[in-house]
Chain A
Amino acid sequence: MTDLKRRGLVAALGAAPFAVPLLTRAQELESKPRFKQISSRERTRQRYFPNLVLTSHEGKKVKFYDDLVKDKIVIFNMMYAKCEGICTPITRNLVRLQKVLGNRVGKDIFMYSFTLKPKEDSVSALKHYAHMHKVKPGWLFLTGSVDDMELIRRKLGYVDPDPEVDKDVTNHIGVIKYGNEPLERWGGCPGMQSPEWIAETLSWVDWPKKSAARNANGGGR
């Protein structure tokens, strides 16, 4: 491009004092492919929910996205059966939550506990754990290959940026995460929060009709 033409282009573009960057940009735009049109729901699926095959404490093979997450309200937490620290009180708390949520668990709300120690937590170990805590249907304890469980842990953000802290699995069990997959609403809260309050926070991601009815009654305040 000659200098004359360049000056003409600059003038046309508003006489900014940045002739060279503008040209570079113009050239870049010519060759740049269009951005992809992908729905946000699909991007969230791609980003966070690899469709891994896991095994539930009932011995059933399930796909992470297709069977566990898609079209559902979900509650996630991390655990392992032999955990002596905070796991047991959180599991007990979630048992109470399951009671508070009533018959919606297994219908449109689903609870998933992912093992942090898939080598230890066989299907039978998880089954034993679930029975011991009197877990009802609609709540699955899940195991899988070491790599797959590690990937799910990271995808769901149960990660500490300090590698040494990250190695200690007890640092990944305090928080529950929840969301409404088709509505694309996600959140998290402490696993030891009161079951009534966890149910209230879940209502914030509930189906629009249900939340509208609740708001008409004054909400949770």
Chain B
Amino acid sequence: MAYISKRNRKKERDKQTAANNRRELIAAGFKRRDLLKMGLLTSAGMLIPKKGLSARPLNSTGAFDDDEPDSPNTTPFQELMPRLTVLQPVPALNPAPTIAPNTAAGEARTVAHQAFAQFPPQRFYEMSEEAGTVLMAPAGELPPQTIWGFNGITPGPLFVERYGNLGSPGDGSILLRLRNNLPENNGGFGLPSVTEHLHNGHTPLESDGFPCFFMERGQFYDHHYPNVYAGINSTHPGTGDIKEAMHSLWYHDHRIDHTAENTYKGLAGAYILFNEFDTGDENTGFRLPSFGDGQNPLTSFDIYMIFNDKHFDNETGLLKFDLFNTDGILGDKFLVNGKIQPVLHVSPRRYRFRWLNTGPSRFYQMFLLGPNNSTKPFWQISTDGNLTERPVQVNSSRFSVAERVDVIVDFTNDAGKTFYIENRLEQDDGRGPDGDLFSAGQGDKILKIIVDGPQVPDNSVDPATIPAGTYFYGFPNTNDAPRITRTFRFERGNGQWQINGKLVGACNQAPRFAIKRNTVERWVFQNNSGGWQHPIHMHFEEFQTLSINGNAPKSTGLITKGRKDVFRLEHNMEAKVYLRIRDFVGRFPLHCHNVVHEDHAMMLLGVIDDVGDNKTKP
């Protein structure tokens, strides 16, 4: 017997019926594509008009649809896509930063800076993690949303940094002071206890944002980012290895067990690194489209785009987070730089777009949809912000949570045309996509791009004219013998995530494995499941893929060759990767970046030290 009203009883029954319907449709082998054809789904924004045809795992088998993505309607392509606000340095910090944790002044850090004296910070930044109020949809369509953001905005401010110049490494070194000014009242979800990870800086690990190094309300934490190439204290003393240059990074909350809700609530932003090759000026170096000041549309052609999907409460119109989901969370509203389905006006010339997916759980495969359902090719130039050997012409790029893709899109001959960034990767639940693609125009249109800007000069390199061979840095060699080969099997047992059959190590336990500093390791990632996919993320150093299911990685199409820090471990896949671990020591995590999986123990906590261990299955 239950104290629920008749109306609610009927609602529950309806939900059960609807869920059964969906089960039958799935059992009958219908895909979303078929449902589209049958008129049960609409293509724009994954609106689902029939009760119970849930796109969300919590309900795909089940008895209720309270948390189905049934966000209120919003009108797409009304609002301009915001360009990220560039973070400005401060003249000094008070109190001045110290090598040892300044516990007395309220610093939460527990480990001394290991490279502060070697790379003294040249610039200082201060950000406050705090609540803010934003509009994500055109005014009046959704109420103002209370978010948690770096400086109260989401995405957070954009760092525009430079590697130290060769010859004087370390002059790119910065120090970021973060303050936790989050409120006690979370408005339904979010833990006001935070740690910030710079993904994927080669950062001394006490500044990296280790999940257990969190700070509470009222505390601060100093992060020292030397902005140096890996190898600087080891394989390439004094300079670092230029082939380890990274250009598109991001930062986000990494609080152990609570990363999904905190990043979903807004705690994420982007971080760009330039150097003397990728200069931000299209007249120099690799001549990639100019960054300018990041704001002026007449001079700024290098644009960071942060994609995420969210879900809004149909009754209150407020951002909604599925508190008890352990499988993965999908939203039905697609945001770019904090706005739902915005518009970008561009000039007829080349642009560099930096694409980042902040999750929580969705995978994207982005196409450029042109007039008459045409597909416009573009040039992919990076994997996870690391330049490929040369620009590669592709029709699409696939990226799961936390992966980045830099592309060059040439609108030179497109004056007057309209394009859409369209996600054609079908994904019905948080476990991962099934690999099926929608046909052109049937996917989710996320950003409208109108080529109606004024004619402006274009001195950027035309990738079509680059002679054969390596144009960028090329890749570090993979010939040095690994000290050890380790296997990591990602799986599910008793409804929880496991790595090598074991649960996540808690913060108070000894590290699961130890890597000897300045050595090479070979790792094998295994996923024996046909149901789940996992974006596997290693902090601190980039890896190179040696093989996927026994095959060499690909440098065309869906590019898998190159340096990366997130491996998209798809169904029944085994991959071998190669990595050097150099220069600094400390604790780090290796984890699934489906942040819902991550929060439910799909994470290993390891350590880099000068001894290492020989655990082949940590």
Verify A200–B601 contact, CB threshold 8 A: no
Verify A184–B188 contact, CB threshold 8 A: yes
Chain A 37-78 near chain B by CB (<8 Å), digits 1 or 0: 110110110111011110000000001000000000000000
- The segment from B63-71, B170-178, B243-251, B287-295 found at the interface with A is B63-71
B430 interface residue per 8 A CB criterion: yes
Chain A 77-92 near chain B by CB (<8 Å), digits 1 or 0: 0000000011000000
How many residue pairs link A and B with beta carbons under 8 A? The number is 187
Chain B residues near A (Cβ < 8 Å): 1-4, 8, 12, 23, 57-64, 66-67, 72-73, 75, 77-78, 110, 138, 140-143, 184-189, 191, 193, 212-213, 216, 219, 257-258, 313, 315-318, 322-327, 429-431, 450, 452, 493-496, 503-504, 506-509, 531, 599-601
Residues of B with C-beta under 8 A to A172: 495
Interface size class of A (residues with CB under 8 A): 35 or more
Write the nearest CB–CB distance from A96 to chain B, whole angstroms.
14
Residue in contact with A38 in the complex, picked from B62, B78, B140, B315, CB distance below 8 Å: B315
A103 interface residue per 8 A CB criterion: no
Residues of A with C-beta under 8 A to B431: 161
Chain A residues near B (Cβ < 8 Å): 16-18, 21-22, 24-25, 28-29, 32, 35-38, 40-41, 43-44, 46-48, 50-53, 63, 85-86, 145, 148, 150-151, 154-163, 165-166, 170-175, 177, 179, 183-190, 192-194, 196-197, 200-201, 204-205, 208, 211, 215, 219-221
Verify B138–A154 contact, CB threshold 8 A: no
Verify A53–B452 contact, CB threshold 8 A: no
Residues of A with C-beta under 8 A to B325: 157
Residues of A with C-beta under 8 A to B601: 189-190
Q: Is the interface of B mostly helix, strand, loop or mixed?
A: loop
Verify A21–B317 contact, CB threshold 8 A: no
CA distance A211 to B345 in the complex (A): 49
Known: A184-B189, A185-B186. A161 touches B430 (CB 8 A): yes
Known: A50-B2, A196-B508. A29 touches B188 (CB 8 A): no
- What is the chain B residue whose CB lies nearest that of A41? B188
Write the nearest CB–CB distance from A97 to chain B, whole angstroms.
13
CA distance A36 to B78 in the complex (A): 24
Q: What are some 26 contacts across the A-B interface (CB < 8 A)?
A: A17-B452, A21-B78, A25-B75, A29-B140, A35-B315, A35-B316, A40-B187, A40-B188, A52-B2, A145-B1, A161-B60, A161-B327, A162-B531, A163-B23, A173-B494, A174-B493, A174-B495, A174-B496, A184-B187, A188-B599, A190-B601, A194-B508, A201-B257, A204-B193, A204-B257, A221-B212
Known: A190-B601, A204-B193. A51 touches B4 (CB 8 A): yes
- What is the chain A residue whose CB lies nearest that of B325? A157
- What is the chain B residue whose CB lies nearest that of A38? B316
Q: Is the interface of A mostly helix, strand, loop or mixed?
A: mixed
Residues of B with C-beta under 8 A to A157: 58, 322-326
CA distance A3 to B154 in the complex (A): 39
Write the nearest CB–CB distance from B254 to chain A, whole angstroms.
14
